[in-house]
Amino acid sequence: MGDNQSSQWDYAAYVEQTAQLLGIEIPEAYQQGVVENMAQLSAIAQQVMEFPLPPNTEIAPVFKP
């Protein structure tokens, strides 16, 4: 998501619909915090996705820390 898409994304609707799909209830007192965290995670994910990788980068078949 670019900045323009990010500002147009309805995180509140996404959180509500995802909670319904998962069959969980987010207490009203926590809903705004969950929405804010989702927006922050989206911004972080965008930075990760934009990080340049060399064209010869190979995908690791198994994660080994």
- What pTM value is reported for the model? 0.69
Any long-range contacts for 33-42 (C-beta under 8 Å, 24+ apart)? 35/11, 38/11, 38/14, 39/6, 39/9, 39/11, 42/1, 42/6, 42/9, 42/11
Q: What confidence score (pLDDT) does residue 65 get?
A: 80
* The pLDDT of residue 3 is above 60: no
Domain-by-domain residue ranges, the chain?
3-50
Q: Render pLDDT for 5-64 as a digit per residue (tens, 0 to 9).
A: 556 889 999 999 999 999 999 999 999 999 999 999 999 999 999 999 999 988 878 877
Q: What confidence score (pLDDT) does residue 1 get?
A: 46
